[in-house]
Amino acid sequence: MKKIVIIGGGYAGIYALRELVKNKNIKITLIDKHTYHNLQPEVYDLIANKSNFADVTIDLTTLCMGFDHNHLEFKNLKVRKIDKKDKKIYTEEKEIVEFDYLILAAGTRTFFPPQVSGLNHADDIKKLHRAIVFKQSFEKQLFEKIKNEAKQCADTRILVVGAGLSGVEIAAEMAYFSNKFFKRGNFSCENLKISLVSSSASILPGLSQQLINISQERLKSLGINIITNTKLEKVEDGYCFLSNGTRINHSFVIFTGGVEASPLTSELDIKTNQKGQVIVNEHMQVLEHENIYAIGDIAEIRNNDDEIMPPNVTIARISGSLAGKNVLKSLENKPLVKTNPKLDGILIALGGEYAAGNLFGLIHVKGKLAYYIKKFVFHSYRRPLLKLINIGYSRFRKFQH
């Protein structure tokens, strides 16, 4: 029985898994260092108290048990080394997992530039546990502010560094949540100040000017200070130093200034780009090894015009599904399918029930309509997974009894 291993239980890994389970005669192992699939785009709702931990995670154990497949298992392991020649995966837990085909879906992490000193003081909210710690710290500071408002009313300053999708969405959600919090309680001490720093000439570089304009207008209406053409140079306790010569005191620094691939890629001795992302062909295969695939954020994926596709859920779906299909086709000695990924569009959460988006490159939407479209897209992904984990949980309970 052929062994297929997926490393990474994120969006791309799940989409690959949904294809692979169609073949009941293979052994599938999903490996992840976490026990849950983090629904990353919804973490900002968690921070803004619009959802809870259960709303932004999918349990991987019960998910795997929910599929109709007798040879599928989830292993909560941390991968340390991959031996391509002997087709073995070595883990921190000393367990060795063998494979015939390997799908790398370990994603990316926030890149902290080494030349910027003091970034250890910054919050990395892409990691769920760090997002929860930040949420708790922020709420504690709000409580302290209210408790002491009769005596003093010190500013709470949040500096969000990086004005791509992540930076814009977190700045908007934090501003909206805070404004709503102070308004609801009629507190006098409501001097929260949020600044968004972009090293580019505008926020959301690479997106349409209309989408940039809509987003910028919304951010300014929320009271967010936008600083462009400026880089973060140094972080010290209580202060950030910017390339424009200004010094900003801060309560929190959230860094979203870039990504790098999982460190797994550096040990594989395969072709990668500057971010550590694996270079793949049109079949999602690693160039040097036909039995190894890379998908989602960990891969540099190009379309037919040789344009690098942005790391998002649409590309994770396309690449993950394609890799799963091509592994099955390889097993059947059938021609592999080529990819030409196209974006369905882009939707940006901008605080509360407000979003902005571009659909299929044809039409721009904003406000509640865009928000409800974004929610529909999210629920259409999450709903079938919830069905599977409910089935898996029922099976799990039966095994326990």
Tens digits of residue pLDDT in 288-327 = 899 999 999 999 999 988 888 888 889 999 999 999 999 9
| pTM score | 0.90
The answer to whether residue 149 scores a pLDDT higher than 60 is no
Domain-by-domain residue ranges, the chain?
Answer: 3-33+77-110+259-343, 119-255
3-state helix, strand, coil in the chain (%, to 5): 35, 25, 35
Asked whether 315 and 322 are in contact (CB, 8 A), the reply is no
Element (H or E) spanning 194, and its range? Answer: strand 192-197
pLDDT of residue 166: 87
Residue 204 zone, left/alpha/beta (φ > 0; ψ -120 to 50; rest): left
Strands 225-227 and 192-197, by their bridges, are: parallel
The pLDDT of 353-376, averaged and rounded, is 93
Q: What is the band of 152 on the pLDDT scale with cuts at 50, 70, 90?
A: low
pLDDT of residue 184: 56
How many whole angstroms separate alpha carbon 154 and alpha carbon 190?
A: 9
**3-33+77-110+259-343: which CATH number, 3.10.20.30, 3.50.50.60, 1.10.10.10, 1.10.645.10?**
3.50.50.60
Q: What is the band of 153 on the pLDDT scale with cuts at 50, 70, 90?
A: low
Instruction: Provide the strand spans (E) within 33-151.
Output: 36-38, 57-59, 72-76, 79-83, 88-91, 96-98, 101-104, 108-110
Same fold, 3-33+77-110+259-343 and 119-255: yes
How many whole angstroms separate alpha carbon 72 and alpha carbon 400?
A: 19
Q: What is the band of 109 on the pLDDT scale with cuts at 50, 70, 90?
A: confident
**119-255: which CATH number, 3.50.50.60, 3.40.50.170, 3.40.50.150, 3.20.20.70?**
3.50.50.60
The pLDDT of 198-227, averaged and rounded, is 94
pLDDT by residue (tens digit) across 217-252? 999 999 999 999 999 999 988 889 999 999 998 878
pLDDT, mean over the chain? 88
High-pLDDT (> 90) share of the chain, %: 58
Partners of 135 in the β-ladder: none
How many whole angstroms separate alpha carbon 199 and alpha carbon 203?
A: 9
- φ and ψ at residue 9, rounded to 5 degrees: -105, 40
Q: Classify residue 337 by its DSSP letter.
A: P
Q: What is the band of 111 on the pLDDT scale with cuts at 50, 70, 90?
A: confident
